[in-house]
Structure 1
Amino acid sequence: MEIKYTAKDILEKDFKTGMRGYNQDEVDHFLDDIIQDYEKFSKQMEQLQNENKRLRAEIDEAPRKQATPAPGTTNFDILRRLSHLENHVFGNKLNNE
């Protein structure tokens, strides 16, 4: 995505006037509003790009950890804990209805 115009390009744009042309003051006012929005968008884009770089750097620097069960934990222990959790969650819902 390439940006065609800068805020300065918009500010310095000169339109030809015709016999039944647009109201020049109205066009100038509208372009002033566009320039202000354009500058805000540019600043916001720069902030987001900087934040994106920072977050990517944090991800790259973060140690890679894999989820591993605690020592001494077996599959049976994990299944038992899941069963207790299901009973707690779904048991409460069934009792409340």
Structure 2
Amino acid sequence: MLTPMDIHNKEFKRGFRGYSEEDVDTFMNNIAGDYEKVYREYCELKERCDSLQDKLSQYEKMEATMNSTLMLAQQTAENVKVSARKEADLILQEAESKKQKMLDETMRNLQQSQQEWEKIKARTEAYRAKCRALLTSQLRLIDDMALDGDKAAPQADTKAVAVKEAAPAVAVSPQAAKKAK
């Protein structure tokens, strides 16, 4: 590239009928001054352009970094969502499983309680029946004793023994009911 100094230092050969040396020198000085001015502007613009080009490169790198960071953040967010959904599903499944186990256990306990209730009810009814039978037999014995009262004194002693023998049966009946459990 031609510099302003090249223009200043340029010398032309002299010819016989050439241009006026003074006019050429004046014109060359004007050109050199203008060219120097343009050349300085060009250098400044070139430096500015290089500086802007460097900044542009930095911004492009930053943009690429931001884009990759944004993509990574989006992927991470998506992974977190998927992980959270899986964890929530797992928690729901565990809760459902626990609920089902609790329901099953509650049903078993209820059935056992109902069976025990039925057994107790049956034992109670059996005990009541035994008590009724015993009381009925005792009432018959008392009625028989009242009717026979004066007729047979020796028979009263026999009946009294029968009453004494029946009384221990009442005491045994509650124990028998406990053993039946």
Contact 2:8 2:29 in 1 (8 A): yes
Q: CA deviation at 1:27?
A: 0.1
Write the distance in 2 (CA, Å) between the matches of 1:56 and 1:16.
44
Aligned partner of residue 16 in structure 2, secondary structure: coil
In the alignment of these two chains, the number of paired residues is 64
Write the distance in 1 (CA, Å) between the matches of 2:36 and 2:55.
29
Over the residues paired in the alignment, what is the CA RMSD in angstroms? 2.1
Write the distance in 1 (CA, Å) between the matches of 2:56 and 2:11.
48
For 1:52, the aligned partner's letter is C
- Map residues 1-97 of structure 1 onto 2, 5 A cutoff: 3=1, 5-62=2-59, 63-64=62-63
Instruction: After superposition, give the CA deviation of every residue in 1:30-86 in whole Å (9 maximum; x if it has no partner).
Output: 1001111221122111111111122122222223166xxxxxxxxxxxxxxxxxxxx
Write the distance in 2 (CA, Å) between the matches of 1:9 and 1:60.
35
Aligned partner of residue 11 in structure 1, secondary structure: helix
Write the distance in 2 (CA, Å) between the matches of 1:32 and 1:25.
10
TM (norm. structure 2) is 0.31
Q: Which has the higher helix share?
A: 2
Write the distance in 2 (CA, Å) between the matches of 1:25 and 1:54.
43
For structure 2, the 5+ residue unaligned runs are: 68-181
For structure 1, the 5+ residue unaligned runs are: 67-97
Write the distance in 1 (CA, Å) between the matches of 2:53 and 2:33.
30
Write the distance in 2 (CA, Å) between the matches of 1:10 and 1:53.
27
The structure whose RCO (Cα within 8 Å, separation 6+) is larger is: 1
Larger CA Rg, structure 1 vs 2: 2
Identity %: 32
Q: CA deviation at 1:15?
A: 2.1
Q: CA deviation at 1:29?
A: 0.6
Q: Which residue of 2 aligns with 1:71?
A: none
